[in-house]
Amino acid sequence: MHRSYQPLKPVTNRYLQQKWDQENFDNHRKKVTSVLPAVDTKGTKTPSHMQLKLKKMQLQDERLSVIDRDNRLLASRLASIVCSRGLVEHCNHYHIKSLNADRRRQELQSVGRQNMDIFRRLSSRQSEYRRQVWLEDWERTVRLREDISRYPPLFRDKQVPQISDDSAATTQSKRSDEFCKS
């Protein structure tokens, strides 16, 4: 039974149905082998204005004409240099002038005026320090220093040789007595 033909629909004659189905299948296979593609896989044709690019050619022509003109000017300059035997005019007939000079001059003048005003205010101001009080305080300090110094002011700058320990103790006691008296 597994080798016998089984139609899809119920039929009266299996043998005829098998023959018709085989013919339909063969016909289908012939059509499949001879079929042409239905989808156009060819690329799209590029428009002529996209292939030619006239604007690009125009820009290139303009650039080349500018280069040619510059080359001609350069060649004429080189020819004039060759004909003139290389003489060069090196004199500069212009004066260097800063566009900002007036502004800088005005700023310097205003700074100078401000400095003079500050100087006048400082010179007219009376000192807030009491110099006389400082001088009196300094004189008092000098007197105290001379009173408590080991040597009198006349011998202060001279070196005094070292005294033995016995005489140093007696001198120390004398000085302490003098300090207490004053």
Q: What would the pLDDT profile of 23-66 be if each residue is shown by its tens digit?
A: 999 999 999 999 988 888 888 888 888 888 899 999 999 999 99
| Spans of all domains in the chain | 1-35
- 18: closest CA among 103, 52, 158, 9? 9
DSSP state of 93: -
Q: pTM of the predicted model, to two decimals? A: 0.26
- The token pair at 123 is 């010179």
Question: What local confidence, expressed as pLDDT, does residue 33 receive?
Answer: 94
Q: Which portions of the chain are predicted below pLDDT 50?
A: 1, 179-180, 182
DSSP state of 100: T
